[in-house]
A = this chain, B = another copy of it.
Amino acid sequence: MHPLAERIHHQDIRALAKAITLVESETEEKLTLMSDIFSFSRQAHHIGITGSPGAGKSSLINRLLTYLREQGLTVAVIAVDPTSPFSGGALLGDRTRMQQHFTDPGIFIRSMATRGNLGGLARASKDAIRVCDAFGFDVVLVETVGVGQSELDIMKVVDSTGLVLTPNSGDVLQIFKAGIMEIADLFIINKADYPGVARLKTTLQEYMMIADPKGWQPPIVETVSTENKGMAALWEQFKEHQGFLYGTDQGANRRKQQLKLEVYDLIREEIWRDVERAIEHDAAKQQLLNDSQADPYELARRWFKDWKERGPRQ
């Protein structure tokens, strides 16, 4: 067993931080560590909170954290920021609101930002969720800055996704157009003390009439995070959805689909690491890459053919 896995099993918090750094690094060690860790996976509830910037996700999570701690639950928060530094400042700023939680041993907070490539970020975030699960947290909360493609990728691996909307923001129509509604297991109307709540609810209900529920009709929860309102109702709906996932055939299907995506992701990463290494060590191929006039499409086509005919050990 990987030494970090052993230490995580014994709830060594420094091992947790180290393991997340390891999964971020995309080294070969990762699969071993992750598989060891998977064996003592403790079935935390994995929750995603997504929505447009400005919807108040961070305040909401801050309040939800307090509520969950009051219920005696331990929580890991993975804050994912795939955006450019231009819009990413908000996330770090919001972190200060969470300061009260930093000294609480029942809470672990970790930011994940883009390193190398976006696919790598989504992958590392998924692994980080698993590591927190294995450590024994009751809840793993994943927060994203916005709702771009890599955030959607990450949301595909959590159990329950809450989509945060605000009244009169115009967000809902854009979300609808972009097909983002489909990832929501819960609609959270935050800032529900603002005017326009009734209208937003009508829009959401109209959407649900035409949507394919696949066995689960997303409930609408109203929250006012500035006034700490709606947290109990929000949590109850998340538990309700967990019951659906683990208690119904449709829920099981969804979990199977997630597993498949995850295996595909992992194997793609492994194979590519291997192929890249082979090309790096192939002097003839490196020679061809030295001609800046070469046709990249032709080289890719030819090398792919080589690979198909002679196999990965060529």
Contacts and interface: CB of A to CB of B under 8 A. Distances in A.
Interface of A: 31-32, 34-35, 38-39, 52-53, 82-87, 89, 114, 117-119, 146-151, 153, 171, 174-175, 177-178, 180, 252, 255-256, 258-260, 262-264, 266-268, 270-272, 274-276, 279, 289-292, 294-301, 303-304, 307-308, 310-313
Given A295-B35, A300-B266, A153 B86 contact: no
Contacts of A177: 85
Number of copies of this chain in the oligomer?
Answer: 2
Contact of A146 (B87, B89, B151, B299): B87
Contacts of A31: 297, 300-301
A260 B259 CA distance: 33
What are the 3 tightest A-B residue pairs by CB atom distance, in nearest-first order? A311-B311, A266-B300, A35-B297
Given A31-B300, A266-B300, A271-B272, 14 more contacts: A31-B301, A38-B297, A53-B87, A82-B149, A84-B180, A85-B180, A86-B147, A118-B148, A252-B292, A259-B292, A259-B294, A266-B297, A307-B312, A311-B312
B117 A266 contact: no
A35 B301 contact: yes
The majority secondary structure among interface residues of chain A is: helix
A299 B149 contact: no
A271 B269 CA distance: 11
Contacts of A271: 271-272, 275, 304, 307
A256 B289 contact: yes
B86 A146 contact: yes
A310 B31 CA distance: 21
Contacts of A147: 84-86
Contact of A298 (B35, B85, B307): B35
A171 B86 contact: yes
Given A289-B260, A292-B255, A313 B303 contact: no
Contacts of A308: 274, 312-313
B85 A87 contact: no
Given A34-B297, A82-B148, A272-B271, A89 B174 contact: yes
Contacts of A262: 296
11 contacts: A84-B146, A86-B146, A87-B87, A114-B149, A148-B148, A256-B289, A256-B291, A260-B289, A266-B299, A267-B275, A311-B311
Nearest to A306: B267
A146 B255 CA distance: 35
A91 to B, nearest CB: 13
Contacts of A53: 86-87
Given A147-B86, A311-B311, A311-B313, A153 B297 contact: no
A95 to B, nearest CB: 16
A85 B174 contact: yes
Contacts of A266: 296-297, 299-300
Q: Which of A35, A151, A297, A312 has the most CB of B within 10 A?
A: A297
